[in-house]
Amino acid sequence: MKYLINWIVMTLAVFISAQLIPGVSVDSFFVAFIAALVLGIINVILKPILLILTLPINIFTLGLFTLVINAFLVLLASNLVDGFRVAGFWWALLFSLVMSVVHSALHQVGKK
């Protein structure tokens, strides 16, 4: 049940963030649902591997390179999901930042 709730919250975060950022578009709520699933799978499988491989540069940049990794993972998800489009790297970076804030805010609202 916890995973389903997290997936729904992530879907809302993807949908709301796409509405706020002009360089990102989502065709429907169902596409946001699929995009949230793909982003979740990518974050579980690829992100830890990429973080380990880029550990030296991540240490050198005090963790800021993680933002670059997140942006590339969002771009990967946009290439995998039809109807979820990101205009470029900078839009993906902004999307990942906004989505993190929205996701955190939705989780805080859900806890109350």
Rounded (5°) CA angle 3-39-33: 65
pLDDT at 112 over 70: no
Question: What's the pTM?
Answer: 0.90
Q: Where are the domains of the chain?
A: 2-111
pLDDT at 59: 95
Burial of 31 (0-12, 13-18, 19+ CB in 10 A): buried
pLDDT at 63: 92
Tens-digit pLDDT profile for residues 58-88 = 999 999 999 999 999 999 999 999 999 999 9
pLDDT at 24: 95
Burial of 86 (0-12, 13-18, 19+ CB in 10 A): buried
pLDDT at 111: 74
Tens-digit pLDDT profile for residues 10-46 = 999 999 999 999 999 999 999 999 999 999 999 999 9
Of 88, 90, 70, the closest CA to residue 79 belongs to 88
Question: C-alpha dihedral over 102, 107, 111, 112, to 10 degrees?
Answer: 10
